[in-house]
Chains A and B, each alone.
Chain A
Amino acid sequence: MQSKMRNLILAVLTVSMLLSLAACGEKNQQDGDQEVNTPQTTRADTNEINVGIPQDLEDSLDPHVTTAAGTREVLFNVFEGLMKADPEGNIIPAVAEKCDVSDDAKVYTFTLREGVTFHNGQTVTVDDVVYSISRCAGMLDDGIYTAASTLKGIVSVEAPDDRTVVITLSEGNTEFLASLVTTYAAIIPADYTEQATQPVGTGPFKFASRSPQENFVIERFDSYWGTPAKLDKVTYLVTAMDTAVMSMKSGVIDVFAHLTADMAKSVEDQFTIEKDTAKLVQALYLNNAVEPFNDVRVRQALCYAVDVDQIIDLVVDGNGVRVGSSMFPAFGKYFDESLSTYYTHDVEKAQELLTEAGYPDGFSMTITVPSNYPQHVQTGEVIAEQLKAVGIMAQIEQVDWNQTWLTEVYANRNFQSTVVGFDTSTLTARGMLERWTSDHGKNMINFNSAEYDELFRQAIACTDDGEQTALYKQMERILTEEAANVYIQDIYNMVAVNPGLEGLTFYPMYVLDVATISWKEA
């Protein structure tokens, strides 16, 4: 009896010990909250926000070097080029005050804006500009491997006086200014060597600190030449996609971009969901050089067999727009809407084309998808299901982005088909269309059309805007008619925004401008 009693006491003690441990943890947490003090209301008081990002800026922070879209999306707020884009996609002066273009579009003369300073306090001089442009165009032999492909055909960069910079191109290029707006062409201080870890630019925000895999902090730059940023501080919190919803629900995150349809649904009661097209072309990209996709009839058959509207419904919950060619709708001037419905879902027609091409019973194929993009993976799965109707057995192969997709699919072109989205780092039609010219180094799909190449040659030589636009549209039509790829959609970029915030602005580029965001007046 006595031992029973003792056991009971022991059990009670054990439980109470565990409970007290739990209580202690809970109490500590409250203490912690008081000391750190960042619930929603206080972030408004200190005029700062937390932005969730699904992957860290695990890159060099040097704007001329870094290629990851996620990194450039953040660095957009720290750097500026000679020119920049406004939300409508117009190219307006930034570090340069104005630009004169010669009639043959070969010589660009920039006048520097007065009083533009770097985050380190130095004034921007013509030397900095000459250095920056030469460096990002890969003309300096400093052992830095810049993403030089965006700035091509520069013959010389000179500074005739202390406010003028003249850039001369090897041939006329009316779209040159558009390639100056991205972070790839950012103006940075000459001879500053810490750019990769301590970036210094001219943008509305300056780099404050970073903690790998945890956060990236920027603060308002008070000597900014233009409209100052409204927030004092922006902290980017690295939050895995899987846990992002919980971090949003717990109130730690104020802004999170690139939500999937499911994520948007689960946070819409607490957040305002703002939408804009992502300015990319999602497609089932086909390797035109391998069987059976070297036969145009097979490619066309796929275009008929795939039900794009169903994909838009199932995968993105209706948050997508048909594209039809390698151009997205937001690029209004160049977008040809008739191409988006050129192929309509028609299983019989697909079957006919397949029979003509010698595949009456279909065939087997592989769809390679990057596993870190759920939307592309799901799209691939829906396509595989749809293709069964015409006897095509598609196998989904999920690969990781860096080790397999970039190397095997993109660089070595060792694939049959893949679902991804392509965008353009320069605000030009050229950026979308040039890559499919037959001898282009990034013509991943091995598209080969002499007519297309010729049209492109004419388009870039053209100095008349209307004529050039018409030529680009013809190129798009060829891509559609030849069924270069199974074009699907431009997916909406959904951004969850704390309802207390206002001023989120979208651009026709993959960026998130935090300078226009502010807390609403209470």
Chain B
Amino acid sequence: MKYYLRKLVTLIITLFVVSLLAFLAFQIVPGDAAARILGTEATPESLAALRHQMGLDRPMLVQYGDWLNQFLFGDMGNSYSYTMSVKALLGPKLPITFTLTAMAFLMIVCISIPLGVWQGKHAGEASDAVTGAVGQVFMSVPSFFLGIVFTLVFGIGLKLFTQGQFIHYDQSVSGFFGYLFFPALAIALPKSAMAAKLLRASVIRELQQDYVRTARSRGRKFSSVLRVHVLRNALIPVVTFLAMTIPEIVANSIIVEQVFTIPGIGRLLLSSILASDYPVVLAIVVMLAFLVVLMNFLADVLYQRIDPRIKVR
């Protein structure tokens, strides 16, 4: 119980600090939403008047306090660029980015775990060397580049999907998942290669442990030892890695969304940063921070599941 309480306090502090930092970043860069709205037609008078109307002329901490106060009561404020509420703006976009992230994560798990175990088991063989080399290549390719390659090969070349024609889930569920398949794969492949490599090393290390020999000498089949004993121990570092990749997947999806023209929060985040539209940016940043802390927590709980010797306190 004490553990959960401490985690909760960490969460609150993290969210507070992250949102404050994001807010302060906007105060450091020159220009603000009012300057952007008036653009080249701005005069010092109109700029001052609009700033006053938008409340941008108030002291920094008052503005932040105001935002925080609203946020705590579930009001994320209004976007300066779109003159609509942040909630309405993010509402239709969150499920898209969430689905993309979830698909990418699932792919990472499905690819890396069987692959890592298989590689660990065949360490030193030719097949291991080949898959290892291929993995190394994927590891070094950034997701956005893979995305461009996929677009050229599968989109424009093989016409498996139509680049630029995003399909919403309310239009066609299968079309929606179909469109997200390649973006998710572009995010998943580099991470899968990393996770597989990690698991391979972990499996090799565990296979040299005494308990493996003991189990084998007691007549257990190798595959059973691998599944029951080795995998369980070998997975611990991988679980940490996987949990920590989720925020990275979200970060990658921000870029990959651009490549595949997916209207998720990524594109919105980028344009909002450029437009000094801080209510939108803060809302997204806080959500991402929340996700990181949550995943961290889930990883802790999972350890305990995998290895009861680890006690979270």
When distances are taken between beta carbons in the complex, the residues of chain A under 8 Å from B160 are 25-26, 29
Q: Does A247 contact B (CB under 8 A)?
A: yes
| Mask of B109-129 contacts with A, CB within 8 angstroms, 1/0 | 011001100100110000000
When distances are taken between beta carbons in the complex, the residues of chain B under 8 Å from A59 are 37, 81
Q: How large is the interface on B (under 10, 10 to 19, 20 to 34, 35 or more residues)?
A: 35 or more
Among B31, B148, B152, B181, residue most surrounded by chain A Cβ atoms (within 10 Å): B31
In the complex, which residues 396-422 of chain A have their Cβ closer than 8 Å to any Cβ of chain B? Answer: 400-404, 406-408, 410-411
Q: Does A149 contact B (CB under 8 A)?
A: yes
CA distance A498 to B82 in the complex (A): 31
Q: Pick the residue among B42, B261, B274 that contacts A239 (CB under 8 A).
A: B261
When distances are taken between beta carbons in the complex, the residues of chain A under 8 Å from B156 are 246, 249-250
A243 in contact with B46 (CB, 8 Å): no
B179 in contact with A32 (CB, 8 Å): yes
Q: Does A450 contact B (CB under 8 A)?
A: no
B276 in contact with A402 (CB, 8 Å): yes
B163 in contact with A250 (CB, 8 Å): yes
CA distance A18 to B184 in the complex (A): 13
Query: Chain A: interface secondary structure?
Result: helix
When distances are taken between beta carbons in the complex, the residues of chain A under 8 Å from B49 are 145
A32 in contact with B30 (CB, 8 Å): no
B271 in contact with A58 (CB, 8 Å): yes
B178 in contact with A213 (CB, 8 Å): no
When distances are taken between beta carbons in the complex, the residues of chain B under 8 Å from A143 are 53
| Mask of B123-152 contacts with A, CB within 8 angstroms, 1/0 | 000000000000000000000000010011
When distances are taken between beta carbons in the complex, the residues of chain B under 8 Å from A239 are 164, 261
Query: Chain B: interface secondary structure?
Result: helix
Query: Assuming the A-B contacts A59-B37, A239-B261, are A402 and B274 also in contact, with contact meaning beta carbons closer than 8 angstroms in the complex?
Result: yes
A246 in contact with B151 (CB, 8 Å): yes
| Mask of A231-243 contacts with B, CB within 8 angstroms, 1/0 | 0000001111011
| Mask of B144-180 contacts with A, CB within 8 angstroms, 1/0 | 0000100110011000111111110001101111110
Q: How large is the interface on A (under 10, 10 to 19, 20 to 34, 35 or more residues)?
A: 35 or more
Q: Does A65 contact B (CB under 8 A)?
A: yes
Looking at the assembled complex, report how far the CB atom of A252 sits from the nearest CB atom of chain B, in whole angstroms: 4
When distances are taken between beta carbons in the complex, the residues of chain B under 8 Å from A39 are 162
CA distance A246 to B182 in the complex (A): 15
CA distance A240 to B258 in the complex (A): 7
7 extra interface residue pairs, beta carbon distance < 8 Å, beyond A26-B160, A213-B93, A407-B35: A6-B223, A29-B179, A147-B41, A213-B268, A238-B261, A243-B260, A406-B31
Residues on B facing A (Cβ under 8 Å): 29-31, 35-44, 46-47, 49-50, 53, 81-84, 89, 92-93, 107, 110-111, 114-115, 118, 121-122, 148, 151-152, 155-156, 160-167, 171-172, 174-179, 181-182, 185, 221-223, 258-261, 263, 267-268, 271, 274-277
18 residue pairs from A and B, CB less than 8 Å apart: A10-B118, A22-B185, A28-B178, A31-B178, A32-B178, A56-B271, A67-B41, A68-B39, A214-B166, A237-B164, A247-B261, A252-B163, A400-B274, A401-B274, A402-B274, A403-B31, A406-B35, A406-B36
Residues on A facing B (Cβ under 8 Å): 3, 6-7, 10-11, 14, 17-18, 21-22, 25-33, 35-36, 38-39, 55-56, 58-60, 65, 67-68, 143, 145, 147-150, 196-197, 211-214, 237-240, 242-243, 246-247, 249-253, 400-404, 406-408, 410-411, 441-442
The list of the 8 closest CB pairs from A to B, nearest first, reads A32-B175, A247-B164, A25-B181, A28-B178, A67-B39, A29-B178, A403-B31, A214-B263
